[in-house]
Structure 1
Amino acid sequence: MTAMTTNVQGQLEIGGVSTGELTAAYGTPLMVYDEDMIRRNARAFRESFIESGLEFQVAYASKAFMCKEMVRLAEEENLSLDVVSGGELYTALEAGFPAGRIHFHGNNKSEEELVMALEAGIGCFVVDSFLELELLHELAKEREQQVNILLRVTPGVEAHTHDYIMTGQDDSKFGFGISTGQADRAMQIALCKPHYNVLGIHSHIGSQIFELDGFQQAITVLSDFLQSVRLECEVTLPVLNIGGGFGVRYTEEDKPLPISEYVKAITDCVKESFGENGYPLPEVWVEPGRSIVAEAGTTLYKVGSKKIIPDVRTYVSVDGGMTDNLRPALYGAKYHAVLANRPNEECTELVSIAGKCCESGDMLIWDLKLPPVNFGDTLAVFSTGAYGYSMANNYNRIPRPAVVFVKDGESRVVIERETYADLVRLDR
């Protein structure tokens, strides 16, 4: 979770700015990012790969959190960029991100999205289906373009994570299965397409992964697959993209490894597996998103009503909820929080944090120990930097919150708070 200190007034600070100052200036709910932490995490990936001696690319998975300022930060930290929709691609291009460092994912890219990406001259398409394999090539042929592609394959590895965020098993909407023979068939088709430059393969086994064995198993399967392609098709493909999914700490129960340990395990396994096959060491690509931004984000809420049900539960309601953090309702994600205006007081109450939406399932945290909670207190929920704002919605016609970056005692808005006028702007 983001590094915080308490100032002389007894308030939490983020990036040298007090949470009281932040809420006074920008209101609540407010999503606050520690810019230094984002940059440290990005650099940790790059520095660990440099130490490995392998060629590499680190692409920020923009689905975790994206806005133009985040894109500019990724460019400044020498990251590539992973996008999964026309909207993410548009944002990247509007922010001036170099198109040649953009990778385009997605299991159902539309023709319009593919044309947009071709016209922008992006660096790589991650092809996810037989339909896309044909459609993208026809569009490239019409434009007389050579297109770099990776084939997304499923290695049949099930990561130890929530069912909704497992993607590497055979039964997945993503990619070509290796064990089913679909990956081999797709590779043979792709290699025969004159407007394709097949760089290699892509795999992503899931998200919020704390153990190394899933990555290691996947790399062994992928290495063997590339070796079989080499022997059957007489081609050596230079890129292995093993995706992301590196775990982060949401609560004290979570025990993620340091970024350097994830990278070392991956690169060591690549060296061993490819070395055993006598295959030239590939350029390794990874796509961290959550592990770069999650713990750098904190959401600040204003406490509203409090409902005490004797011998049952105490509900404390805040002025946000599933509209700015859908993860608890979507798949039971857990978070930790404190009272930002009184973080050092003894925690004597067991409460549950409720959102303001008209849904019984709009609960942010169950069974949280806090000091006695009063109307107007500020609740700080930690590690909300990934899949919070990017999943934000306008259910109950609630405007989405503002987002600010803080650094060295200064704060700046990177996404303005939505207004009621914004909510009806497209209505007719």
Structure 2
Amino acid sequence: MRSHYCGQVNEKLVGQEVTVAGWVHRRRDHGGVIFVDMRDREGLLQVVIDPDSKEQFAEAEKLRNEFVVQVRGLVRERPGGTANANLASGKVELLARELVTLNRSEPLPFQLDEHVSEEVRLKYRYIDLRREEMAKRLRLRHKITRAMRMYLDDKGFIDIETPVLTKATPEGARDYLVPSRTHAGKFFALPQSPQIFKQLLMVAGFDRYYQIVKCFRDEDLRAERQPEFTQLDIETSFLSQQQIMEMMEGLTRHIFSDAIGAELADPFPRITFAEAIRRFGSDKPDLRNPLELVDVADLVATCDFKVFAGPAKDPKGRVAALRVPGGGAMPRSQIDEYTAYVGRYGAKGLAYIKVNETAKGKDGLQSPIVKFLSDDSVKGILERTGAKDGDLIFFGADSAKVVSDAIGA
């Protein structure tokens, strides 16, 4: 049926005859010569149908987008100035000697390059998956799982498949239940994780286990919550904390290197849980975001602003500042939006200072709270946060948890 994928035909095959099969991505008629962009999972290939090949030309005139075709032809270099650097096959084209329509397509509900709703995409999933964006994601997923298996196999891990129909055990979410046909009134549960099984394997002596496994959790949909998801599940015995961390860092580096060609730091930077909460307000900070929380409780403990002074004197309280470079131009409406946002985490408000001119001290600041702060407090806040002209400083003052959650969000 075919000798090569469309995206694999390149200048190394010039002068050779190949056979490709795939979908008509686009058809163009230029001055009596028909050009067809053929597509398969590996990419695009330009096919040329010359009018001298009357039978092939007549067939090509009937082609429409998404028809499935097979083409046998001669690989040749594209004429000067027509190469497409964006395609792996962009330096060559296929001169058709035989063209067969394998399947015709009805008019599509949407074009592959058209932006449509998620509902429409899911309804016509087989069309959605033809888009290059989706194909890239599936190929990347394949590369990631392949890299995982290669690395873990090299480290002596065994891939062991555990049961899917099992008994309900206490977990963090509700179970999906599957009624038993042979035992009336009884059910199987779909596993939220293979926890029990992998512990059984450890006791049995399989000290290095892994599985790329489906998990099922009946919980409300959120960005990081799905009813069905795939995870890399690992369990080991007789390894220290340091050894496990080094092994998992190595796994992550291998995945990024093998799947996308990115080289990560060796070793990874490490911070304690306490430092993560203090600097970022989160135990999973996104280090691409340069903004950090700065504690200023000692600078405002004696001020006349009770909203600051109360938490500053409370052993369980916290007063933290967050400098936003260039944020001084932020309109009040946006500040109000942020105020409402932090309210979701229990914050009662969001104090702020706009830094207009640091050289003028308090007179160079714009804020409803500046009048409650001493000159020394203001100077200390500006120095500690590294504030510059045009910046904006947000403040959180409450219990340590509320401040970390709200300002770190």
TM-score by length of 1: 0.20
Higher relative contact order (CA 8 A, sep 6+): 1
Larger radius of gyration: 2
TM-score by length of 2: 0.21
